[in-house]
Each structure stands twice: as C-alpha cells, then as structure tokens.
Amino acid sequence: MTDEPNRAIAEVWEVARESRESRGLTGGRPISYRTARRAETLIRSLPAEVPMPEAAWGPDGFISLDWIYSRDRVFSVSVGSSKRLPYAWIDGDQHGHGVIRFDGPTVASHLLAAIPVKTERRSD
C-alpha cells in the first residue's frame, strides 16, 4: 500500500480518536469503531488512480470523506455504521446527491464515476 492510502486511513483513526475526546465539549456523537472500520475499508477499496480523500468528523457520529479540489468542486461521502453511503457533489454550477450501498471491498462504479480523478488533491 502506498503512502497516500496509509495517510488517509491514519487520518480516519485520528478523527475517530478526536471525536471521542471532544464529545464532552461539542455534544456530538463519537465515531464508533465500526464506522471507522467501514471508512478504512472504503479507502482500501479505492482504485490506485483515485486520489485519497480528507477525513472529517460529523456531530452525528459519521465520518465525512471529502475530495476538495476547489471551492466549487467538491465530492463528499458520509460513512456510518450501516451499509448506506450518502454522497453529494458540486462541480461548478452542477450538483447532485444520492445514496449507494457499500458492502466492501468493491466500490460501486457509479460512485467512482462521480469522484473526480483527473485533478490532483488540493495542497494547503
């Protein structure tokens, strides 16, 4: 496994840890072990040509996996403990959303088709 997937997976587990530590301060639900494992499985299932996402914690206990290319070009998937993956995207003046089922280890082709793969991950 290359460094990028390892970095993304480490970020998932760091976000999960932070969610447990911050729970008293934010009032949000911490990320469960099952949710973090599902996010890890999703990242491991991405083909090599797909850039790795950034991970963020939602107060609902979900992990948001985000591909942020610019202010108006974003793709986001919410990973929870169920097999349902809600996703949303913005690309200029176009946008959309949906829900797919993820059983792992293969990502649904229509979800992969929505993730922009030709643009490099943003640099901060």
pLDDT tens-digit map of 56-83: 998 889 999 999 988 899 999 999 999 9
Q: In what order do the strands lie in the sheet with 54-57?
A: 54-57, 63-70, 73-79, 84-91, 94-101
Residue 111 tokens read as: 């979800």
Mean of per-residue pLDDT scores for the chain: 85
Q: Please give the Cα distance from 22 to 2 (Å, whole number).
A: 30
Total tally of structural domains belonging to the chain? 1
- Residue 52 forms part of a structural domain: yes
Q: Is the pLDDT of residue 33 over 80?
A: yes
Q: What is the mean pLDDT of residues 85-99?
A: 91
Domain assignment of residue 36, given as a range? 3-114
Q: pLDDT value at position 29? A: 87
- Residue 121 forms part of a structural domain: no
Q: Quick one: pLDDT band at residue 23, thresholds 50, 70, 90?
A: low
Helix, strand, coil percentages, rounded to 5, for the chain: 35, 30, 35
